[in-house]
Structure 1
Amino acid sequence: MNARVGVVGGGIAGLVAAWHLVRAAPELEVTVLEGASRVGGKLRVEQVGGLTVDVGAEAVLTFRPEAMQLFDELGVADRVAHPAPVPASIVIDGARRPMPKGTLMGVPADPEAVRGLLTDAEVDRLRSEVLTPPVHGDIAVGTFVDARLGPAVTDKLIEPLLAGVYAGDSRNLSLEMAVPQLAKAAREGTSLLELSRSLVPPASPGSEGARRPVFATIAGGLGLVPEILALRLRDLGVTVRTGAMVRGLARRDGRFVVSSGPTTDVREDLFDDVILATPAAPTARLLRGLAPEAASRLARIESASMAIVTLVLDGPPPEVLDGSGFLVPPTEQTTIKASTFSTVKWPWLAAAYPDHTVLRTSLGRHREEATLQRSDEELVEVSLADLAAVLGPSLPAPAAVHVQRWGGGLPQYAVGHRALVEGLEEPAPGIALAGAALSGVGVPACIASGRRAAEAVLTRVRADRRGLG
């Protein structure tokens, strides 16, 4: 009898785990169980005013190879699209200012590049970097940068960038996990400014156009990738069940029993191996009886909720949408933390819908639940009010709107996170973990975690076969 593998969670990590398994060992019987009505997790497209647009993650990093490799495997490499070379901005004192060039996650190679974003006094403090002793272990990003370069660098430069990735507070986020490039200076007690100068390429005429794009998506929306992946999996014989909320995981006669479905009609499936590609909290609940110590550690990982408000305007982009969007530091008075001028940022979107303009706002930070304790209508209202405050009153009223809430969508890598999750990828024999809670929230990192979990299962299956002779 062929080994049966259950993958709990149909987000990108779980789908990739199943993809890796069945391509490496076609004889495996693989089943993906997803509690929602469709696969994809935080990758999703929706119809907004008749337009198909991303309402979750919209891009992948290109300097990591995992996403681009997956696109190639799925046969969609010819649909890869990159952002337009248009500038972004940061809101300071209610007004947009150009995003500074030549920074390492907000730490400038040249302090002069951030004059205007920072006051003269704040630039002087930045120049006078205080070399602190080497850090043994982990430290919060904001705590470290505050001591070295002053709190203004944290508040106005680093916070807006990290908020887009984690929806968290840099003074609680792990330096090791969130900004590993800067952790080198912490461990060695060396200069952050010198590190930035050594790693940030110097600007030169024409260099922007020649530089490799940092971000990519696929034409039609990144949220199409899980749908394509699910179709390919079914073609390869994988069972993909949606609406299958997993409620229990137990051992029975050397195999795993996975209970799923509504409480009035629970279904039990037997598997030889299980991959849990679910957020930290549900994973902890499922592991409580099989791996209590791992469950206890996972339960300590907090998460942040956020919402994305998508607005569709009639007509091409108005002049005020003159870049890719803006970030908002938490020191500002606005509720939104960012806005993306999607049609301006993504040429594929402008080409697909030349008579409409798409933009979106994001709201919600870790431990700021009150922001999201509003109705969808109120989130749209506050988004429009904040856009008017930043851009002026000339923005046309939207023809269509959509609110997507991502409850508990972003795990928070608190100080000591790496030590907390060490060894958790295989918490018990026959069980492997994947997903953003472990070692990376971006799409490429989740893809990598799915492949690692699949490899752990394949190693065990192969070992069992050798044992059987």
Structure 2
Amino acid sequence: MQVIVIGGGITGLAAAHRLTHSGARVTVVEAGDRFGGKLRRGEVAGVGVDLGAESILARRPEAVELAEAAGLGDALHPPAPVGAAIWTGGALRPLPKGQLMGVPGSAAALTGVLSDSGLARIARDAELPPLQVGEDAGIGALVAERMGHEVVDRLVEPLLGGVYAGDAYRISLRAAVPQLYEAARTHDSLLAAVRAVQRQQEEARKGRPAGPVFNGIDGGVGRLPEAVAAACRAAGATLVSGVAVTGLRRTARGWAAALADGRSLTADGVILAVPAGAAARLLAAEAPAAGRELGALEYASMALVTLAFRRADLARLPGGSGFLVPAVEGRTIKAATFTSTKWGWAAAADPDLFVLRTSIGRYGEAGPLQWEDAELVRAARGDLGEAVGLAAEPVDAVVTRWYDGLPQYQVGHPAWVARVRGYLAALPGLRLCGAAYDGVGIAACVASGTRAARELLLTPQAGPRQETGE
């Protein structure tokens, strides 16, 4: 079987890895000049750092298994066991436990983060009419209705913002926190639903070896796509970068992809592992209804400001692994990660330096991304100074912009995904995968690509092709 994988991010590479190791002949075509998508390595002051995603959800097996298969098993390590904080009410406070993406199982779980009136409002959830979530609901809208806006603004929003950079009031409960959605359908209050999920999680952990929630990779998670790409090449795959696919059409024996450099590739099957907008353009001719749906998906843009300081210049090192910032605080940054504290490999790379990074940008607030690099650095340093007293001059700074980097899982997202894939069901030999559909984390993207490859391998081939591809 010959397959064209369009898109060389971690989703496309995961699909290619599964295909090549199942005997298929694979060509991966990536429009950019490198493979890896939102997983990208770089340097600040000579220290290797991640300039995109920095951790892997270890409680899902897919990304860990892919890393191990690509030879990175010994490089997988959890972050340092130090707590994170939230910058709220003008002060850093420990990130509360006993909550599920910011939704508490009791008012006591948020003591110190919310006002007395905010805590009292949570308890009223149990006194309201029975919970009704229907086919889907906005997480923030539901939590505000049951527990008050303060819970959303001070905790749900910053936690969801770290994942989606989105509007918490519009993010799909069913897509973003499916366990809570299912529990909410069978419990009368949101408090009871959260506690039910927490009990399920505790039961699931019983009898299992204790393991980390997240893992990093020595040298950066950006090593993962590099290793997977190398493994694909070693298994016989062809990887092409710097060339966009400009057209996609069905043929009598499969599919043909037109490349920007004038070449045409033909294959039995195609996997589309590109952002929704790019997929919409490629499917406009063969699946116009799917193309219209895909073209309507919204994205959020964000920037990362990575800074390196001499430890000798710092009056004191900030504690913990970092902090989140609620939008209602009116700050520029939405989070900070103390890289040299969180990841042992980063601290060991240069013990004289302290490296951290901040993230900037939320859905509908792309203004700061238009600022010059120096302005973003200045804004990040200003917020860091107020939050943790960091006043030193950095020895190096790197600004990385991710335009349209995070798809927005708004209310009705699962139904949208079902519609899109339903339209494509009539097109044999075509699969769609990536962060826009099955989850935005690395593990979810790997699972999405692997599933697409598995399904394609089960598709009956049309027989010998008359066309040949390069």
What SS does the aligned partner of 2:179 have?
helix
1:388 equivalent to 2:385? Answer yes
Counterpart among 157, 160, 164 of residue 159 in structure 1: 157
In the TM superposition, what is the alpha-carbon distance from 1:257 to its structure 2 partner? 2.1
2:357 is equivalent to residue 360 of structure 1? yes
Q: CA deviation at 1:151?
A: 0.7
The answer on 1:147 being equivalent to 2:133 is no
Q: Distance in 2 between matches of 1:188 and 1:440?
A: 24
The offset of 1:390, in angstroms, is 1.3
Structure 1 pair 104/318, CA: closer, same or farther in 2 (3 Å)?
farther
Letter in 2 for 1:378: E
TM-score (norm 2): 0.92
Which residue matches 1:454? Answer: 453
Equivalent position of 2:82 in the other structure: 86
Question: How does the TM-score come out when normalised to structure 1?
Answer: 0.92
Task: Write the mapping of 1:152-301 to structure 2, written as runs, cut at 5 A.
Answer: 152-200=150-198, 212-261=211-260, 265-301=261-297
Contact 1:131 1:148 in 2 (8 A): no
User: Which runs of no fewer than 5 residues in structure 2 stay unpaired?
Assistant: 465-470
The equivalent residue for 2:467 is none
SS of 1:405's equivalent in the other structure is strand
- The amino acid that maps onto 1:449 is S
Which stretch shifts more, 140-149 or 456-465? 456-465
Query: Once the 2 structures are TM-superposed, how far is the Cα of residue 172 of structure 1 from its aligned partner?
Result: 1.1
CA distance in 1, matches of 2:417, 2:66: 26
Decide whether the 8 Å contact of 2:47 with 2:346 is kept in 1: no
Aligned to 1:38: 34
Q: CA deviation at 1:415?
A: 0.7
CA distance in 2, matches of 1:245, 1:375: 29
Structure 2 partner of 1:71: 67
CA distance in 1, matches of 2:403, 2:272: 19
Q: 1:462 offset after TM fit, Å?
A: 6.0
Instruction: Supply the distance in 2 between the matched residues of 1:399 and 1:55 (Cα, whole angstroms).
Output: 17
- Residue 104 (structure 1) shift: 1.4
Q: State the one-letter code of the partner of 1:158.
A: V
The 5 Å alignment of 1:412-427 reads 412-422=408-418, 424-425=420-421, 427=424
Question: Alignment partner for residue 112 of structure 1, among 108, 119, 140?
Answer: 108
- Counterparts of 2:267 and 2:283 in 1: how far apart (Å)? 15
Bigger shift: residues 119-128 or 100-109: 100-109
What percentage of aligned pairs have identical amino acids?
46
1:457 CA displacement: 1.5
Deviations 1:176-219 (A, max 9, x none): 0112222134323522222333443799xxx9xx9532110111
2:318 to 318, 321, 343: 321
Change (3 A) 1:453 1:47: same
Per-residue CA deviations over 1:392-417 (Å, capped at 9, x if unaligned) read 2x432111111111111110011111
**Which structure 1 residue ranges, 5 or more long, are not aligned?**
none
1:342 matches 2:339 = yes
Q: In structure 2, which of residues 17, 22, 34 is the aligned counterpart of residue 24 of structure 1?
A: 22
**1:401 counterpart (394, 397, 403):** 397
Q: Distance in 2 between matches of 1:6 and 1:297?
A: 23
CA-CA distance at 1:245 after TM superposition: 1.4
AA in 2 matched with 1:324: S
Q: In the aligned structure 2, how far is the partner of 1:110 from the partner of 1:330?
A: 23
